[in-house]
Amino acid sequence: MYEHNTSEQLGETLPMTTTISFSLNGDKISYEIKDHWTLLHLLREEMGLIGTKEGCGNGECGACTVIVDKLAVNSCLYLAIEADGTTIETIEGLASTDGTLHPLQQSFVDNGGIQCGFCSPGMIMSSKALLDENPDANREEIQHALAGNICRCTGYIPIFESVEAAKKMGGQNE
């Protein structure tokens, strides 16, 4: 659904390219972007970080969830230009460099929180934002926080159990 090289359509008169700086999974990034790019487009199509998924593209499904300044957001509705100066976390930043999974990732694996896997990066990022803010979140709070993440395999119960189990593993830790 994204067009590349769209500047020809409006001619070269509009200053549609902007350089933004942000922190991505702990790395300082500077990137030249087009004003109309979404953060999802920047991550997936430009930077090749395809862990973040595009589901509906309209903010309904949560597959594209990333964390911007500690808040879970739909990257499909978030303009890349508004990421300027922010701190962004994506699923790629969770595992350690030696390959050790983040407690949430390990817990999703151990507790059957993953079936087809398409919603998992979004589910895990929403869960991380929740546990970072509220390490003792109860079942109701977990459900409220994950209400915007749709799983079409309908594995919601094991997903909630995975988040609860991650709490005990120190899921709130970086």
Partner 1 sequence: MKPFTYLSPTTVEEAISFYGQHSETAKFMAGGTDVIVKVKEGWMEPDFLISLKRIKEMSELHKNEATKELSIGALVTHATLEKSLMIKNEYPIIYDAVSNIGSLQVRNVGTIGGNLINAVPSADGAVPMIALDGVALLHGPDGERSSDVKDLFLAPYKTILKPGEILKKITIPAQAPHTGSAYTKFGRRAAMELPLVGIGVLLTLDDDLETCTRARIVLGVAGPTPMRAFDAENYLVGKKINEDLLIEAGKLAADESKVRDSVRGKAWHRREMVRVHVKRMGLKCMNIIRANN
CB of 24 to partner 1, least distance (A): 18
The 144-163 site mask, x for binding partner 1 (CB under 8 A), equals xx-xxxx-------------
- Site track for partner 1 across 58-77, x = CB under 8 A: xxx-x--x-----xxxx--x
Q: Report if residue 2 touches partner 1, rule: CB under 8 A.
A: yes
Cα distance between residue 5 and residue 20, in whole Å: 19
DSSP assignments along 24-86, one per residue = ETTEEEEEEEETT-BHHHIIIIIT--TTS--SSSSSSS-TTEEEETTEEEETTSSBGGGGTT-
**Of 22, 24, 38, 155, which one interacts with partner 1 (CB under 8 A)?**
38
Q: Which residues bind partner 1 (CB under 8 A)?
A: 1-3, 6-7, 9-10, 14-16, 18, 34-36, 38, 57-60, 62, 65, 71-74, 77-79, 81-82, 126, 144-145, 147-150
